[in-house]
Amino acid sequence: MLIVQKYGGSSVADATRVKNVANRIAKTYQQGNGVIVVLSAQGDTTDELIAKAKEISSNPSKREMDMLLTTGEQQSVALMAMALAELGVPAISLNAAQVKMHTSRDYGVARLKKIETGRIESELYRKNVVIVTGFQGINRYEDLTTLGRGGSDTTAVAIAAALNADKCEIYTDVDGVYTADPRIVPNAKKLEEITYSEMLELASLGAKVLHNRSVEMAKRYNVELVVRSSLNESEGTTVKEETEVEKMLISGVAGDDNVARVSLLKIVDKPGKAFEIFNALGKNNINVDIIIQSVATDGKRNISFSIDKDSLEDVKKIVEANIKKWGVAGVEYDENLAKVSVVGAGMVSNAGVASKVFEAMYDADVNINIISTSEIKISILIEKDDMKRAMRAIHDKFNLGN
């Protein structure tokens, strides 16, 4: 088998951990597998480099920032190659320029465009474990770029896709994907398998195990992802197109308590009005989540939408600058909200799921502010203080703990 393994910064934070990870890699290699390893920078290295830059400039050039930060992963991969050599495992480290991981030109938030496979393939042919820098690439100017959040996971999936690897293992500090956050729902259960779509919904809903970017890429190229812990031998959760276990009604419950709602009241009901509003928000990089539009009465409508609370100040400015142009009679903001979501591929064919959610909320005395449903997800906006109670109630109602 050809296996891609990705280890995050905390898994390689110091010499002891580097050696532990090297042992795990060696085991996979000695079982006869081809192994490609993708690494992040060690522990706090990236933060330390950012601090160094800030000492010199409060607003450093993004190009130079990427030139600086990419040294972090290069150090990790070199150290890991040394650790493997100590174990008698032939290994070679490669940076983004050596692999030729082409990205868009955008420094700091580059998108991977094409990974050349020649160098990696020839090193695999020589029976080397190939250790590749995550999070980075080169753009058309041969400048180094970084991929932004979730970058190393994305690198790993992209390499697995480019080389048609049998699987891509993402090592992290949790055992896998759970039916809910175990810190909130104590009897949450680890899932053996989950589909890409379910994982995408869970990831975007606050289950911070895998970054959406990497799941999207895995789905597009049909890369089998395994999320598992670098600290134990637990099997982890497999993310793939179709799960082999019987399709579960619900795979998990996720909560996000950093949500705000904006309601634009009594907007003159003209075609293109919603486009005008959300286009203005999009241009300013505001990610709008749930949108609810009321039925028009007297030629007027209300439009409500939820956003990440961190965007609220930006949204307020945009709304105030456009309030006349849009023909909005009034605005309401609510920043003490949480979103609880129930995700499951089995939901499509089962009309009873929504009513069960409502029943659970009624039993738990939780007031629902906004509801949004999709084929595999039901999200409700509720008061922030109700979030944990709501999650537990839903988890119990669907018997996810067994």
CB of 400 to a second copy, least distance (A): 43
Q: Which one, 75 or 104, has the nearer CB to a second copy?
A: 75
d(CA 151, CA 322): 35
* Lateral strand order in the sheet of 91-94: 91-94, 129-133, 34-39, 2-7, 167-172, 225-229, 237-240, 193-195
CB of 49 to a second copy, least distance (A): 7
CB of 96 to a second copy, least distance (A): 10
CB of 40 to a second copy, least distance (A): 15
Q: Which one, 72 or 255, has the nearer CB to a second copy?
A: 72
* Tokens describing residue 10: 């905390």
- Measured between alpha carbons, how far apart are the two ends of the chain, in Å? 33
CB of 60 to a second copy, least distance (A): 4
Q: Which one, 57 or 164, has the nearer CB to a second copy?
A: 57
Can you give the three-state secondary structure of 40-108, one letter per residue? CCCCCHHHHHHHHHHHHCCCCCHHHHHHHHHHHHHHHHHHHHHHHHHCCCCEEEECHHHHCEEECCCCC
Given a contact cutoff of 8 angstroms between Cβ atoms, the answer to whether 120 and 77 are in contact is: no
Given a contact cutoff of 8 angstroms between Cβ atoms, the answer to whether 261 and 334 are in contact is: yes
CB of 55 to a second copy, least distance (A): 4
Q: Which one, 58 or 355, has the nearer CB to a second copy?
A: 58
CB of 43 to a second copy, least distance (A): 12
DSSP run (H or E) holding 133: strand 129-133
d(CA 142, CA 366): 55
Q: Which one, 230 or 243, has the nearer CB to a second copy?
A: 230
Under DSSP, is residue 194 helix (H, G, I), strand (E, B) or coil?
Answer: strand
Given a contact cutoff of 8 angstroms between Cβ atoms, the answer to whether 226 and 219 are in contact is: no
d(CA 136, CA 141): 14
CB of 380 to a second copy, least distance (A): 46
Q: Which one, 89 or 361, has the nearer CB to a second copy?
A: 89
Q: Which one, 11 or 93, has the nearer CB to a second copy?
A: 93
Q: Which one, 70 or 302, has the nearer CB to a second copy?
A: 70
Which residue is it, tokens 């999070």? 135
CB of 27 to a second copy, least distance (A): 18
- Give the DSSP letter string of 342-363: EE-GGGGG-THHHHHHHHHHHH
Contact positions vs a second copy (CB under 8 A): 15, 18-19, 49, 52-53, 55-57, 60-61, 63-65, 67-68, 70-72, 74-75, 77-79, 81-83, 85-86, 92-93, 95, 97-98, 119, 142-143
Helices then strands, each counted (H, E), the chain: 12, 18
Q: Which one, 20 or 104, has the nearer CB to a second copy?
A: 20
